[in-house]
């Protein structure tokens, strides 16, 4: 009887071990979409998210780790790496996104020089976004257009739209490069050739 009980216990332990092993294998084999179901509270999860390009989630996990231990050197290093990866990811797209998402509270100028307005927008955008560094503006238009006058009265408009209004009002354009917004003068439009109205086509 005792031998039978021992056999039953051994079989039960083997079965339990197999179940635990199967569960671990199942978790290890889950795809990236299923990882949302797993808790992410350690450095390995942050590294995984960073490698998947999910920087916002990785950053949130780092901040959570730092809340638990503000002096965690690994979390601080990972946070710096994530920030660097975000800046290296498609800089043109990132700058364009910034122009679209930064909302300028108010632009009320009358007869101000275009370069003065651009300097105002540079300062205001930095203030609104809280960024450490201002957006770079590069002037590639003729110098005599720097004093061209701008009159605008706008409220709560994306920076991209404000730049469009400012530059077009003085005959200029802007483009977004990798690290700067370039202000330039477009080439003159070529006149379209047309036949006189009194001349019939052969």
Question: What is the pLDDT, as a whole number, of residue 142?
Answer: 94
* For residues 82-90, average pLDDT: 67
Question: What is the pLDDT, as a whole number, of residue 202?
Answer: 47
| pLDDT of 179 higher than 90 | no
Residue 158: pLDDT band (50, 70, 90) is very high
Q: What is the mean pLDDT of the chain?
A: 75
| Residue 87 CA neighbour count, 13 Å, CB half | 8
* Fold adopted by 93-184: Phage tail protein beta-alpha-beta fold (3.55.50)
Enter the pTM of the model: 0.51
Is the CB of residue 144 less than 8 Å from the CB of residue 135?
Answer: no
| pLDDT of 15 higher than 50 | no
Length of the chain: 202
| pLDDT of 21 higher than 50 | no
Q: How would you label 40-70 residue by residue, b for 16+ Cβ within 10 Å and e otherwise?
A: beebebbbbbbeeebbebbbebbeebeeeee
Per-domain residue ranges of the chain: 37-89, 93-184
């Amino acid at each position: 009887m005792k031998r039978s009980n021992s056999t039953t216990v051994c079989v039960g332990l083997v079965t339990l071990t197999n179940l635990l092993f199967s569960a671990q294998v199942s978790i290890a084999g889950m795809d990236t979409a299923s990882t949302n179901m797993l808790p992410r509270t350690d450095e390995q999860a942050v590294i995984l998210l960073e490698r998947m390009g999910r920087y916002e989630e990785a950053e949130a996990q780092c901040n959570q780790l730092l809340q638990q231990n503000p002096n965690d050197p690994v979390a601080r290093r990972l946070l710096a790496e994530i920030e660097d990866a975000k800046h290296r990811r498609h800089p043109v797209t990132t700058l364009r996104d910034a122009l679209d998402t930064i909302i300028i509270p108010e632009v009320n100028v009358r007869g101000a020089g275009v370069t003065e307005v651009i300097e105002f927008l540079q300062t205001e955008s930095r203030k609104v976004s809280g960024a450490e560094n201002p957006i770079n503006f590069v002037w590639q238009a003729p110098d005599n257009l720097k004093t061209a006058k701008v009159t605008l009265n706008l409220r709560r408009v994306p920076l991209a739209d404000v730049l469009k209004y400012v530059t077009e009002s003085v005959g200029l354009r802007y483009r977004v490069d990798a690290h700067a917004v370039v202000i330039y003068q477009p080439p003159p439009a070529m006149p379209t050739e047309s036949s006189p109205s009194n001349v019939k086509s052969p």
